[in-house]
Structure 1
Amino acid sequence: MKAKQQRGFTLIEALVALLVLSIGLLGVAAMQLKSLQSAHAGYQRATASLAAQDAVELLWSKFDANDMECPDLGGDEAAWQARWRAVIPGWKGVDAQRQ
């Protein structure tokens, strides 16, 4: 091409390259957001699993094989719930009363 025909062409090339780059960066940002959401969900699941395991260990520590009944946890249950309420924001707790 001659110089007169090329006038402004490099500007258009630069704008198209910028458009392609910005679309790519938007895709990367969307992937990052999804990654953060998945990491948070994994954290919540892991915390719930730890709380459940802790509850099982509390019950086993109070279990009497000779009695074969679920023990009365009394203040232990309240202490357990208070411990996990501090770790899990918005947790309402559980009602573990016998029926």
Structure 2
Amino acid sequence: MIRCVARGHERGYTLIEVLVALFIISLGLLGMAGLQVTSLKQNQSAYMRSQATILAYDIIDRMRANVSAVDNGNYFVSSGSLTAGCETTSGCTDTQMASHDIARWQARLAEELPSGGGLICRDTDTDDSTGGNITTPVCGTNTDTDLPVVVYVWWNDERASDAVSTRLAVSFSL
């Protein structure tokens, strides 16, 4: 005697359902990877901004410690030079210290920030950008002690946006 057993419908997932589920999971994983990349870019940009701020306030503190050189305009130069005496107990003059501070500050800018640079001057306009391009600042007269001191720091921040450079300007009065 042969028994015929009628098979009921098999239960389970079809190949199409599995492929659709894999497709949806892959899209989710790609989205997560994109978020991670964007997060890393923004973190790097925030780090560079923090470094620029720290370096700007570093030179400001140096200037506050050497007010006579600020009054004489010794900090308002495009570059400085290192003086060995400023690093020892033998000491150096206020003018030499200002030049030494500028040289050390600009070296740290170049070291800490990609294509980093900086300039200090007396100016009322802290936004010297033209058409969205960050340019080297054009400073006002550096002899007018009524104008605030402005510290400009710029660097290459192409990861953050379409701009190739970013600039931070800190204005203060002594």
Task: Choose the corresponding residue for 1:92, options 101, 105, 117.
Answer: 117
Q: TM-score, normalised by structure 2?
A: 0.46
Secondary structure class of the residue paired with 1:94: strand
Structure 1 range deviating more: 73-82 or 21-30: 73-82
The answer for the alignment partner of 1:28 in structure 2 is 32
> Higher RCO, 1 or 2 (CA under 8 Å, sep at least 6)?
2
In the aligned structure 2, how far is the partner of 1:11 from the partner of 1:70? 81
- Counterpart code for 1:46: S
Q: Is the 8 A contact 2:55 2:105 kept in 1?
A: no
The alpha-carbon deviation at position 75 of structure 1 amounts to: 2.8
The residue aligned with 1:60 is 64
Which has a greater percent of helix?
A: 1
CA RMSD, Structure 1 to Structure 2 (Å): 2.7
- What per-residue deviation string (whole Å, max 9, x for no partner) do you get for residues 55-83 of structure 1? 1111011114xx98255222321122112
Which residue identity lines up with residue 2 of structure 1 in the other structure? H
1:18 Cα deviation after fit: 0.2
**CA displacement at 1:94 relative to structure 2:** 2.1
SS state at 1:93 partner? strand
**1:29-88 CA distances to partner (integer Å, 9 max, x unpaired)?**
111111112111110110111011101111011114xx9825522232112211221111
Structure 2 residue 76 is the aligned partner of structure 1 residue 69: no
**What SS is found at the alignment partner of 2:116?**
coil
Which amino acid in structure 2 is aligned with residue 53 of structure 1? Y
Q: Aligned partners of 1:89, 1:14: CA distance in 2, in Å?
A: 48
2:169 is matched with which residue? none
Q: Output the amino acid matched with 1:57.
A: D
Gaps of 5+ in 2: 1-7, 75-97, 122-138, 144-174
How many residue pairs get aligned? The number is 94
Counterpart CA distance in 2 for 1:12 and 1:49 is 56
Q: Percent identity of the aligned residues? A: 32
Structure showing the higher strand proportion among its residues: 2
Whole-Å separation in 2 of the counterparts to 1:68 and 1:15: 71
**CA distance in structure 2 between the aligned counterparts of 1:68 and 1:82, rounded to whole angstroms:** 20
